[in-house]
Structure 1
Amino acid sequence: MKVQQAQYVPGLDLLRFFAACIVMIFHLVFWSWAFPAGQVAIASHGVANFHDWTTFAPFGWAGVQIFFVISGFVIVVSAERSTPFKFFVSRFTRLVPGVWVCATITLLAWLLIDANTRPLSLLAMYVRSVAFFPQGAWIDSVYWTLGVEICFYLLVLALLFTERRRLIQPIMCGVGLASTLFWIGFTVAGMDRHSAPFELFSDVQWSRWAQLTLLQHGVFFAFGVLLWSRLVQQPSRRLTAWLVLFAIGGCLQIAGENSLKLEKTGVEFSPLLPCAMWLGAMAFFCLVVTNNAKIQQLPIWCLQLLRRLGLMTYPLYLLHNVTGGALMGAFVDWGASTPTALCMAVAMVMALSWWISKVPEPALQKSTRALFDMLQTRWQTSDRAEGVRRAG
């Protein structure tokens, strides 16, 4: 079944919210004790005790890969009907105001807990975060994904600016192919973990430049772009073949990242569960897109709830790690059991994310759009005046 036109897909808001939740559970329930050098462990003072919760929690990081696929799909839909200026404004207002609010809250959380971090260091991390500096350290380690997202946006913006919109799909096929070939090479080299090729691949694997050039995660953005082409436009065997290839590449990337978690924590992991989680999420993705017309007929309150969950996702992702960890640690210090502290921290982060998505974020987005509209009007007026002057 083929979706007749690109439009809002409520089911993707539910998938986005699910991805944010499993990342949150991963950080608060597993990373908080398994990786003592991590920010969530520092923020929670290492008091979490979830050593028996190892069935699902260790694999929630695969939510990030789900985010990247959704971005590939949503951005190409946005680019299809947008000018370069409108695309830039839409991405700026989507990313920046939320970071301004959430980074400020995270800074306050750091200042309120005894984390043995100098205020000047925190200020530097805060400035890097609100300025979207591509290199850390950031006020919260989850901000690493923003630079990756922005690099994808810049690629699409460049194609819009040069009026080469039609090249989005073939170029993303190239990006996805390069990423897939890298992970194939990593997997093959990994058969001998003491070999020089594996050491080379390992050095590249988690370097920041490999992230920003989309070598690491380009396969997921490409998968999202091709899902749009396959589900929204005309399906073809060629697109299906590309999707199968990128599904393999995505699983290889997840298996590679799984090995990193093993190295950092010393806990045994099988890559099968995170791969299954991601593939299951992709099956759900296809289901909600192909049945979007039916989903749109749900009661208004249900559609509004799905939309609110989608809007909460961004602040929830930005706040859960440090702020959620600080809250959980504080509740344990105040005498709550670890499971109770977790539930209370999750509830408070959820409530805070709902408030941000409801009050300060839309207000800042509205002001930002108004500023860009004013600048555009002035630029157009100046352009017309210059044209009249030259004609005269």
Structure 2
Amino acid sequence: MKRRPRLAVLDGMRLAAALLVVFCHYTASDDAWGSPATDLFPGLHDVTQYGWVGVEVFFLISGFVICMSSWGKSFGDFVVSRVTRLYPAYWIAVVLAAVVVSLWPAVRQLNNWTEAAVNLTMLQEGLGVHSTDGVYWTLFVELKFYLLFGLFVVVRGVDYRRCVMFCALWTVAGLAEQVAPNKLLFMWTEPFYSPYFCAGIALYLMYRFKPTALLVGITLISFVLAEYQVSHRVARLGYDTTNVDHRIAAWPAQLIVAAAFLLLTLIALGVFDRIQWRWLSTAGALTYPLYLLHQDIGLTALHALKGRVGPLPLVLGMISAMMLLAYLVQRFLERPLSSALNRAMKSGMAELRYNSAPAERRPTRVQAPAEPERVPEPV
């Protein structure tokens, strides 16, 4: 395959998805303000109350990016890349959030430090343990996708056929859960979110190879299922997510989903290949720490500062502060921790391969070369 330019617009899309979620938490929720957000942000609230759809956009992008970043990798390399990408920034965010909400429990409270320690595994959702920060539930969904994709595709080698079969089987399993509800099946099929991952995979195959009727079909089916499921998300989660006391319409959420599908399709078709603005790549690198850090830390700060500054200027200032915090975390903490974890995991994988091979076939031990500083992959 001919080398393609970096997908800078994809980085911008990730940042836009993160900002949707941030604006939703800051201007569509009453948590930080002690009064209705609808009164504080008239007009704006009507739009930002749908910002939670940014999570669905993340899942769509994730299907595309994971398929791209795992191509040609062994299962061990895939595990190393995912762990070193997800965990360092997450560990830092868990510790910071736990400290903030334990010292200033005005908006959120830390139940106990044992639960915070469990959060460091990223498995708390599976154990029924309270998440230290509200956004962490999405990472468990990501982990399940990585595990399924790794076991059913990467372990045998990522190729066109296996990716298509994975999308087909995961979709069918999700439909089976809808017909015959089962908690275990629901946990692994993720019917609310699997259409986004499957569409992302199909769109990456279009990008890597070319559009075909098969790939267009997978994308369209996933799109229809995504639109159906997001309307159910509005019905089931609308009140809790936006703290409103009236029923909200589904069509704005469906419109955001449609726009995300259209934009990623245009990216896959190479429409934006010429756009190589460096600031988009920099912004994309900040997206993950921004997403992890913004909610409980930001809401606590907003609560402390409310009344001293107008609500909208305060929100804009807080978003700027959270982006600065995300940059500092990414530049001075996440990078060195990721590099150290990467070296340690590669060494561990080398030991696993060496000690798992028959004695007569074991390769000569060779010390791994020093790792160059790497730019983190997108989630």
Match in the other structure for 2:280: 306
Partner of 2:18: 20
1:104-115 mapped onto 2 (5 Å cutoff): 104-115=95-106
User: Counterpart of 2:156?
Assistant: 163
Question: Following the alignment from structure 1 to structure 2, what is the Cα–Cα distance between the partners of residues 366 and 323?
Answer: 26
Alpha-carbon distance between aligned partners in 1 of 2:155 and 2:109, rounded to the nearest angstrom = 46
More off after superposition, 246-255 vs 257-266: 257-266
Match of 2:192 in 1: 216
Residue in structure 2 matched with residue 375 of structure 1 by the alignment: 348
**Structure 2 CA distance for aligned equivalents of residues 56 and 382 of structure 1:** 56
The answer to whether residue 81 in structure 2 is matched with residue 90 in structure 1 is yes
Quick check: 1:219–1:249 contact (8 Å CA) kept in 2?
yes
Cα distance between partner residues in 1 of 2:356 and 2:231: 53
Alignment of 1:203-242 (within 5 A): 210-242=186-218
Which residue number in structure 1 is paired with residue 368 of structure 2? none
Q: 1:323 aligns with which of 256, 273, 297?
A: 297
Deviations 1:126-154 (A, max 9, x none): 22321112333110111111111001100
Match for residue 114 of structure 2? 124
In 2, Cα distance between equivalents of 1:173 and 1:5:
28
1:359 match: secondary structure: helix
The question of 1:72 aligning with 2:67 is answered: no
| CA distance in structure 2 between the partners assigned to 1:142 and 1:209 by the alignment | 23
Once residues 353 and 221 of structure 1 are traced to their aligned partners in structure 2, the CA distance between those partners, rounded to angstroms, is 26
* Closer/same/farther in 2, CA of residues 281 and 380 from structure 1, 3 Å limit: closer
| In the alignment, structure 1 residue 57 sits paired with structure 2 residue 15 | no
Amino acid at match of 2:113: L
Given that 2:230 and 2:254 are in contact with CA atoms closer than 8 Å, whether structure 1 keeps it comes out as yes
Task: Tell me which of 261, 271, 276 is aligned to 2:255.
Answer: 276
Partners of 2:67 and 2:245 in 1: how far apart? Answer: 40
Question: Is residue 84–residue 160 contact of structure 1 (8 Å, CA) maintained in 2?
Answer: no
8 A Cα contact 2:286 2:330, kept in partner: yes
More helix per residue = 1
Find the counterpart in structure 1 of residue 314 from structure 2. Answer: 341
TM-score normalised according to structure 1 size: 0.81
Q: Which residue pairs with 1:46 in the alignment?
A: 34
- Superposition pairs for residues 31-42 of structure 1, below 5 Å? 32-33=29-30, 41=31
TM-score (norm 2): 0.83
Given the alignment of the two structures, is residue 386 of structure 1 paired with residue 362 of structure 2, yes or no? no
CA distance in 2: counterparts of 1:239 and 1:225, whole angstroms: 9
TM-align CA RMSD: 2.8
1:362 equivalenced with 2:355 (yes/no): no
Q: Distance in 1 between matches of 2:211 and 2:52?
A: 31
Distance (Å, rounded) in 2 between the aligned partners of 1:7 and 1:78: 14
- Deviation at residue 178 of structure 1 after TM alignment: 4.2
**Total equivalences in the alignment:** 351
- Find 2:130's aligned residue among 137, 144, 152: 137
- Which amino acid in the other structure matches residue 34 of structure 2? G
Percent of matched pairs sharing the same residue: 21
- With over 3 angstroms needed to count, the CA separation of the structure-2 counterparts of 1:273 and 1:383, relative to structure 1, is closer
For 1:341, give the aligned amino acid. L
Determine the C-alpha separation between the residues in 1 that align with 2:357 and 2:216: 48
Pick which of 262-271 and 148-157 moved more.
Answer: 262-271
Alignment partner, residue 270 of structure 2: 291
C-alpha distance in structure 1 between counterparts of 2:255 and 2:175, whole Å: 18
Shift of 1:64: 0.7
* Larger deviation, residues 280-289 vs 349-358: 280-289
Contact 1:254 / 1:274 at 8 angstroms: preserved in 2? Answer: yes
Counterpart AA for 1:113: W
Structure 1: segments with no counterpart, 5+ residues? 34-40, 186-199
8 Å CA contact 2:8, 2:281 repeated in 1: yes
| 8 A Cα contact 1:179 1:219, kept in partner | no
Whether the 8 Å contact between 1:83 and 1:160 is mirrored in structure 2 is no
Displacement of 1:7? 6.4
> Which secondary structure does the structure 2 equivalent of 1:137 belong to?
coil
- SS of 1:321's partner is helix
- Tell whether the 8 Å contact from 2:206 to 2:212 is kept in structure 1 after alignment: yes
Instruction: Find the aligned partners of 1:385 and 1:170 in 2 and give their Cα distance.
Output: 33
Alpha-carbon distance between aligned partners in 1 of 2:298 and 2:184, rounded to the nearest angstrom: 26
Residue 211 of structure 1 and its aligned partner are, at CA, apart by 4.7
Q: Aligned partner of 1:255: which letter? A: S
Amino acid at match of 1:289: A
| Distance (Å, rounded) in 2 between the aligned partners of 1:314 and 1:152 | 17
